[in-house]
Chains A and B, each alone.
Chain A
Amino acid sequence: MRTDTSATPEPAAPNPATAAAAATEAILTDMADGRHRAVVVDSPPGAGKSTLVVRAAQELTEGGERPIVVAQTNNQVDDLVVRLAKEHPGIAVGRLSATGYNPPPVLNALTNTTVGRTLADLAGCRIIVATAAKWATVRDATFGWAILDEAYQMRSDMLLQIVERFDQGLFVGDPGQLDPFTIVGTERWIGLPHDPTQNGVSVMLQHNQNIPVHRLPVSWRLPLSAAPTIAQAFYPFTPFTSGTGDDTRALEFRTAGLARTDLDETLAEAFTTGWALHELPRRHVPRTDTETLQTAADLAGRLLGRGAVATCERHPGGRPLEPGDIAIGVAHRDQADLVRTALARTGNPNAPSVAVDTANRLQGREFEVVIVVHPLSGRRDATAFHLEAGRLCVLASRHRQACIVVTREGIADLLDSHPSTDPVHLSVPAKFPDGWEANQVMLAKLALHRVAA
């Protein structure tokens, strides 16, 4: 059984599917209503953002529009192109790309897609998809509608470069993930409604009254064990529910654990409750600490070695977990490199195929089991980077089945003694959720699933 006792249960929602469908209808209705220049959709993790993008694009096409889709990375663009083309074989989809782009094989195999360097190459396409950076190079073309995916990760200055390409926009994104950032340290734009370092959605909303802001109410990804905690920690003012019931998802091993009792205990906790906190002895260490990173890799190796079977609504009969179903999430790129090396050392031949990446690059992705190296593990001080709510949110909300957090003991003390010295600015609303608070909520939850190594 997996229920979350730390958070107040949501009032009994109607059927999640009904609620989600109603939200989608309301969004499409607002788009059809000619009065709105923009429609914003906030989507918590795994709430069917891509489904909505595909659906909206198709509806627009049906209405005679020739919409464009703007995503932030080439991977996101490829994923969207594949989904659009597969779900709507009758619609010609164009993929606008830069020179040097190599389409993945799955995209090449589709018959209703065209890859082009310029708009002229894609003249026959009803939907054109590209990264924001690519759209920024397009001139002298205007479309009726743009669908902007992962819009909260797009900086306001990027929006400014592409906004003349469309009349109306559907802005879709997850406000809880990582904010865009700049390496330039300047205070000169703080407090301006058009601060170019802010995300495009916030800036657009600042300048336009009465823009409808919708919210997708159901996370189809997060299991019942995770949705309430994630909602409480990272979406304190906009709760959502899990789309799956009590016993829809389950993990079990095919073999008994014997060899590595420390790891097995953690895996057992994660398999039965959906969460585990694997806590290594307290120690101040550099972020490249081998023991921590190796433990994360070993957990993945052990999981694969024992053979896990996952049951869910897609596979009610169960399905063995493969390396690609598992991800290890870290804060820094050097940690990711070292975890990859550590995976090779686990001895499990499949371990190197486990996905390893930083929070930034895991945004928008989904796995069955995610192993997280806690950003604050072993640290002496918490910096704004390591405390950022969006970072932990990304890491702790990628999983469909279970999330295992690996850390050194001592995070509670570190949070407790963290100085509050963030600068305060005039007329700038405080950013929520606060990283400190969010970390506390997550830690309180994880403490219930602690396994001391």
Chain B
Amino acid sequence: MKNPVDDRLDALRGSAKRLDYNARSLAALENNPRCTLRALLDASGSDKAAIATHVGHPPSFGQSSFAITRGNAFEAMVKDNGCAELLRVLRETLELTLPEVGYEDLNDVGGDGRSKQRHERTEEVLLRAARGEGDATLFDHPMLRLLIGGHKVYLEPDLVALRIDGRFHVVEIKSFPIIDDQADSTQVRAATTQACAYIIALRDLLGRAGIGEEAVSDTIVLVAPKDFTNRPTGAFVDARKQVAALTRQLSRIERIGDLVDLLPEDLTFDLDPTPDKNKQPRRPAEELAEALDQVLVTYRPDCLNHCEMAFYCRSRARAEASLDVLGPTVREQFGGIDTTTMVMGLARGELTPSEDQVEIAAALRHAARLRAELEDLGGAA
């Protein structure tokens, strides 16, 4: 039972396999909710990295094998022996009272590793726990599901759901250090975004069984290495604002239909890959670029940290001499003006300002006069 919007989204993606939202696309969503291109590519499940690469602007989000190894080793260490280290942190560092601890691994369902089966098993176990049945306290690797834009997205967290005092808490295990009770706020932010998706998914799971959202805490437990050691420590992260923010941004995706309606009928981002396993794109890169150019982008320099399309969007912004290239702080000084051409034209008095540009033009001419004054007097090298 597909709706017309889904058909359009499928057409945008073309023949490629549908990609689900992941940590990076959620972060990109939070970072730039207004970007139409990002919204369409994510909602249609298009492969942004492949598209960006084909038009000549490959993303650079490589991950160092050192970081991956470190992350895995740390997580394994924390979870070793039925989460012995994790329990120590919860009890000693975070001073939580955990009477009896039951550990349940939801990783494997009798050898059936498929997402749907695992999710059903997770659902069954967590619902039982929520109703106060069973004695499990720690649930490892629950397979959660989030409905984004009408699509079921499975989230496979490397997390543990912890049940204390009748509430579930999301426990995130991360390998960046907590040094003297502080951690890098960018990394904490990224971990929090992920955890928020899990909180929303967990609430959704329980909500379907009529259990209220207060059953899942919006305080996250972060477990990470202490100082420069390998020993884990923990901290609480108050994620109330982030949960609220992500919730409303996810709800916006439902409005993707409005965006789709504005697109040309035959628009597609299909790469037309070869049917063999190399999947070489056959679509001419210029044609793909033309298709992308028909969609509005909202480039912010910060996109470079989050979005696979960022280098492409930046080159587009540069080509248009758009002030977006310089970032919001600079841009703010120029009110409604969009391009450097317009700024310089008004500053030099070569362009006649429109009615709503009169003031900004006066400010620009004053600035240009100051600049000229400085340069006349022999500016610095």
**What is the predominant secondary structure among interface residues of chain B facing chain A?**
helix
Task: Choose among B33, B183, B238, B363 the residue with the greatest number of A CB atoms under 10 Å from its CB.
Answer: B238
Please state if B189 and A423 are interface contacts (CB–CB under 8 Å): yes
Neighbouring A residues of B121 by C-beta, 8 Å: none
Which B101-140 residues have C-beta < 8 A from chain A?
A: none
Neighbouring B residues of A432 by C-beta, 8 Å: 240
Closest residue to A290 on the B side, CB-wise? B359
Bound complex: CA A429 to CA B218 (Å): 11
Nearest 9 A/B pairs, CB to CB: A417-B34, A420-B245, A284-B336, A423-B185, A426-B235, A286-B335, A430-B238, A424-B189, A424-B192
Please state if A380 and B332 are interface contacts (CB–CB under 8 Å): yes
Bound complex: CA A425 to CA B192 (Å): 10
Closest residue to A414 on the B side, CB-wise? B34
Neighbouring B residues of A187 by C-beta, 8 Å: 182, 185
Known: A187-B185, A286-B359, A288-B359. 7 other contacts (CB 8 A): A380-B332, A381-B332, A420-B245, A423-B189, A424-B242, A426-B222, A430-B240
Neighbouring B residues of A380 by C-beta, 8 Å: 328, 331-332
Which B165-217 residues have C-beta < 8 A from chain A?
A: 178, 181-183, 185-186, 188-189, 192
Q: A187-B185, A417-B34 are in contact. Are A285 and B328 (CB under 8 A)?
A: no
Bound complex: CA A416 to CA B359 (Å): 28
- Proximity string of chain B (327-341) to chain A, C-beta cutoff 8 Å, 1 when within and 0 when not: 010011111100000
Please pick, from B30, B31, B185, the residue contacting A425 in the complex, using a CB distance under 8 A. Answer: B185
Classify chain A: how many residues form its interface, as a range: 20 to 34
Please state if B244 and A423 are interface contacts (CB–CB under 8 Å): no
Bound complex: CA A150 to CA B363 (Å): 38
Query: Is B261 part of the contact surface with A, judged by Cβ < 8 Å?
Result: no
Neighbouring A residues of B34 by C-beta, 8 Å: 416-417
Bound complex: CA A432 to CA B241 (Å): 9
Please state if A285 and B181 are interface contacts (CB–CB under 8 Å): no
Query: Is B286 part of the contact surface with A, judged by Cβ < 8 Å?
Result: no
Query: Is A365 part of the contact surface with B, judged by Cβ < 8 Å?
Result: no
Please state if B242 and A420 are interface contacts (CB–CB under 8 Å): yes
Neighbouring A residues of B360 by C-beta, 8 Å: 285-286
Please state if A426 and B359 are interface contacts (CB–CB under 8 Å): no
Query: Is B252 part of the contact surface with A, judged by Cβ < 8 Å?
Result: yes
Q: A290-B359, A416-B33, A434-B244 are in contact. Are A284 and B238 (CB under 8 A)?
A: no
**What is the predominant secondary structure among interface residues of chain A facing chain B?**
loop
Query: Is B254 part of the contact surface with A, judged by Cβ < 8 Å?
Result: no
A427 CB → nearest B CB, Å: 5
Query: Is B92 part of the contact surface with A, judged by Cβ < 8 Å?
Result: no
Query: Is B322 part of the contact surface with A, judged by Cβ < 8 Å?
Result: no
Closest residue to A381 on the B side, CB-wise? B328
- Proximity string of chain A (112-153) to chain B, C-beta cutoff 8 Å, 1 when within and 0 when not: 000000000000000000000000000000000000000000
B286 CB → nearest A CB, Å: 31
B167 CB → nearest A CB, Å: 17
Query: Is B237 part of the contact surface with A, judged by Cβ < 8 Å?
Result: yes
Neighbouring A residues of B186 by C-beta, 8 Å: 423
Query: Is B376 part of the contact surface with A, judged by Cβ < 8 Å?
Result: no
Q: A378-B335, A419-B31 are in contact. Are A429 and B328 (CB under 8 A)?
A: no
Neighbouring A residues of B252 by C-beta, 8 Å: 416
Bound complex: CA A289 to CA B30 (Å): 30
Query: Is B249 part of the contact surface with A, judged by Cβ < 8 Å?
Result: yes
Please state if B30 and A421 are interface contacts (CB–CB under 8 Å): yes
Query: Is B356 part of the contact surface with A, judged by Cβ < 8 Å?
Result: yes
Please state if A427 and B236 are interface contacts (CB–CB under 8 Å): yes
Bound complex: CA A380 to CA B245 (Å): 19
Please state if B188 and A424 are interface contacts (CB–CB under 8 Å): yes
Query: Is A258 part of the contact surface with B, judged by Cβ < 8 Å?
Result: no
Which B3-17 residues have C-beta < 8 A from chain A?
A: none
Bound complex: CA A433 to CA B69 (Å): 41
Closest residue to B300 on the A side, CB-wise? A419
Task: Choose among A283, A285, A378, A379 the residue with the greatest number of B CB atoms under 10 Å from its CB.
Answer: A285
Closest residue to B35 on the A side, CB-wise? A417
Query: Is B302 part of the contact surface with A, judged by Cβ < 8 Å?
Result: yes
Which A368-387 residues have C-beta < 8 A from chain B?
A: 378-381
Q: A380-B328, A420-B249, A437-B244 are in contact. Are A427 and B181 (CB under 8 A)?
A: yes
- Proximity string of chain B (218-237) to chain A, C-beta cutoff 8 Å, 1 when within and 0 when not: 00001000000000000111
Query: Is A88 part of the contact surface with B, judged by Cβ < 8 Å?
Result: no
Please pick, from B238, B249, B298, B356, the residue contacting A429 in the complex, using a CB distance under 8 A. Answer: B238
Which A278-293 residues have C-beta < 8 A from chain B?
A: 283-286, 288-290
- Proximity string of chain A (175-190) to chain B, C-beta cutoff 8 Å, 1 when within and 0 when not: 0000000000001001
Closest residue to A382 on the B side, CB-wise? B328
Bound complex: CA A428 to CA B237 (Å): 7
- Proximity string of chain A (379-404) to chain B, C-beta cutoff 8 Å, 1 when within and 0 when not: 11100000000000000000000000
Neighbouring A residues of B302 by C-beta, 8 Å: 419, 421
Query: Is B32 part of the contact surface with A, judged by Cβ < 8 Å?
Result: yes
Closest residue to B335 on the A side, CB-wise? A286
Please state if B244 and A191 are interface contacts (CB–CB under 8 Å): no
Query: Is A166 part of the contact surface with B, judged by Cβ < 8 Å?
Result: no
Neighbouring A residues of B222 by C-beta, 8 Å: 426
Neighbouring B residues of A290 by C-beta, 8 Å: 359
Query: Is A253 part of the contact surface with B, judged by Cβ < 8 Å?
Result: no
A196 CB → nearest B CB, Å: 16
A192 CB → nearest B CB, Å: 8
Please state if A421 and B31 are interface contacts (CB–CB under 8 Å): yes
Query: Is A319 part of the contact surface with B, judged by Cβ < 8 Å?
Result: no
Neighbouring A residues of B331 by C-beta, 8 Å: 380-381
- Proximity string of chain B (241-275) to chain A, C-beta cutoff 8 Å, 1 when within and 0 when not: 11011100100100000000000000000000000
Neighbouring B residues of A289 by C-beta, 8 Å: 335, 359
Neighbouring A residues of B249 by C-beta, 8 Å: 420
Query: Is A436 part of the contact surface with B, judged by Cβ < 8 Å?
Result: yes
Closest residue to A285 on the B side, CB-wise? B335
B288 CB → nearest A CB, Å: 26
Neighbouring A residues of B298 by C-beta, 8 Å: 417
B236 CB → nearest A CB, Å: 6
Neighbouring B residues of A416 by C-beta, 8 Å: 33-34, 252
Closest residue to A421 on the B side, CB-wise? B31
Query: Is A33 part of the contact surface with B, judged by Cβ < 8 Å?
Result: no
Please state if A419 and B32 are interface contacts (CB–CB under 8 Å): yes
Please state if A426 and B236 are interface contacts (CB–CB under 8 Å): yes
Bound complex: CA A437 to CA B336 (Å): 26
Query: Is A10 part of the contact surface with B, judged by Cβ < 8 Å?
Result: no
Neighbouring A residues of B178 by C-beta, 8 Å: 426
Bound complex: CA A426 to CA B223 (Å): 11
Please state if B237 and A424 are interface contacts (CB–CB under 8 Å): yes
Neighbouring A residues of B30 by C-beta, 8 Å: 419-421
Query: Is A418 part of the contact surface with B, judged by Cβ < 8 Å?
Result: yes
Closest residue to A288 on the B side, CB-wise? B359
Bound complex: CA A423 to CA B239 (Å): 11
Neighbouring B residues of A284 by C-beta, 8 Å: 335-336
Q: A418-B33, A421-B31 are in contact. Are A427 and B235 (CB under 8 A)?
A: yes
